[in-house]
Structure 1
Amino acid sequence: MDWDKLRIFHAVADAGSLTHAGDTLHLSQSAVSRQVRALEESLNTILFHRHARGLILTEQGELLFDATRAMSKRLDAASARIRDSEEEVFGELRVTTTLGFGTLWLAPRLHKLYEMYPDLNIDLMLEEKVLDLPMREADAAIRMKEPSQADLIRKRLMSVRMRLYATQEYLNRNGVPESQTDLSTHRLICQRTDATQVGASSALTQSILTNDIPSRLMVNNYFGVLQAVLHDLGIGILPDYVVEESPDLVRVLPDIESAEVPVYLAYPEELRHSKRIQAFRDFVQEEIKIHRKHLKEQGKS
């Protein structure tokens, strides 16, 4: 159906007159009449009864007017939300990031964002796959490498390194390794090397696995690795951002760590002025400042 003809039909049905509808639409009466007739021909039905005192909708016209009235209300509501979103923070915000970062760093902090903006609804999509932001598969992304897609605003947030951690309880029972070769007497907990992950993490894991480590636990995500380490199962390869939320972790072999992994926030250029995006960006940046301060105070940075 032709949207322009539907718009004109709605104006005529609402006004009950070709002349009044034409005044509203800034069209001549004859132009309005032609469009209505063309719509009737395309639908093969009569939409109005013509009377000397004006136009009356037929049964079919009433059905169509109900539909265009609902459409008009939804469009008006959408227009209002678009205008309001320039001033207020509310509505849905779709954020994508990795399972590890989303589960272990972002999700535990989101209560602060909701306290500031209770009308904000976040759809948190945790997966390793890179979603297409320009195609609006998500509104914003936190990624472990610089985004390569065009038409994105990208901001580097912080850096992450993969390191070795264990609980003090585990180390008390099994001893503290002083070199990589000592790992042969410990259980290593890590992501599988064929799991989707950043290159620096995979490279560190592969390097450590060149040692003779007979006891291993392979997991396909960092949340699983962390849970195993916290339950005293062995020494785990984990991102350094987990230590703030897990004070029982002790760093093992502090000279061993991965290359630096940059963390970026990205969102489409068209959302530059979105209040939701601005609120989320400011929230993440502030939380990173607090995170760095805590790590410095704990001496774990």
Structure 2
Amino acid sequence: MRHSKESGGLCAGRVVAVTGAGRGLGRAHALAFAAEGAKIVVNDLGVGLDGTPAPDSPAAQVAQEIRSLGGDAVAHGGDVATERGAASLVATAVTTFGRLDTLVNNAGFLRDRMLVNLDEDDWDAVMRVHLKGHFLPLKHAAVHWRAETKAGRTPVARVVNTSSGAGLLGSVGQGNYSAAKAGILGLTLVAAAELGRYGVQVNAIAPAARTRMTEAAFATTMAAPADGGFDAMAPENVSPLVVWLGSGAPSDGVSGRVFETEGGRITVMDGWRAGPGIDKGQRWTPAQAGRAARELLTRAEPPGPVYGAS
């Protein structure tokens, strides 16, 4: 499908930066935004599943793919989990296309271990790429948009962060990944509250799709249907919601929300909300607090099961 710059499109004229866009979900997002008329900064460090550099340049390949379809795209190979890389991502958008309208934070990798076998280096590496790799591009984009607002050019800016069901419910063998993805949800809520004054809306998705990170760990679930039917795990299924959240006027007023998306399903997640409670009006003894907690639990909704739990 060719891009729709000439015919308008949901994101016509917008400039969109997508991190981790060389493969999987990020690539699907970049192509979907381009199909709706956006100009794309395709970021990808070009690393393996464990974060080690790969010899090719997937960012350049995706940028060329978009251009071959008649769209506008530029590759960016910086490490967005560093100040320099995140700053250069924003600078590349502004220098190349004159502006930045939407940031899609998507980059990540896995180093799965059970907690008793999880090394500090594996914890730090996943936190760095997922959580810091969301924070720094968000920070530098926000600084740019704040400056635009102060100059009298309040933007119609959008940020779409990428969490996971692991961040919502937990996932056995993925303590580092689950904690990082939960952290992204907290970051999303704070950013939405702080940046609205600068014309910025910030939301998050928790997608389920076939990528390099999931197709090996969940091979049966993620496999494409042999009969050629609807491929529920295709990453392209996630991108329409991301494109809408990253658009201008169509998504106006939607901020600080989390959406699960998988196949043809979209679900708004409610997050932590107060359940049953008791106020004694004075201090509890430990035994009294225990009895109260037990009683409250009989009235509370049970939590969703942790992924991978038996």
Q: Which bracket does the TM-score occupy, shorter chain normalised?
A: under 0.3
TM-score normalised over the length of structure 1 = 0.27
Higher strand share: 1
Higher helix share: 1
TM-score normalised over the length of structure 2 = 0.26
Query: Which protein, 1 or 2, shows the higher relative CO under an 8 Å CA cutoff with sep ≥ 6?
Result: 1
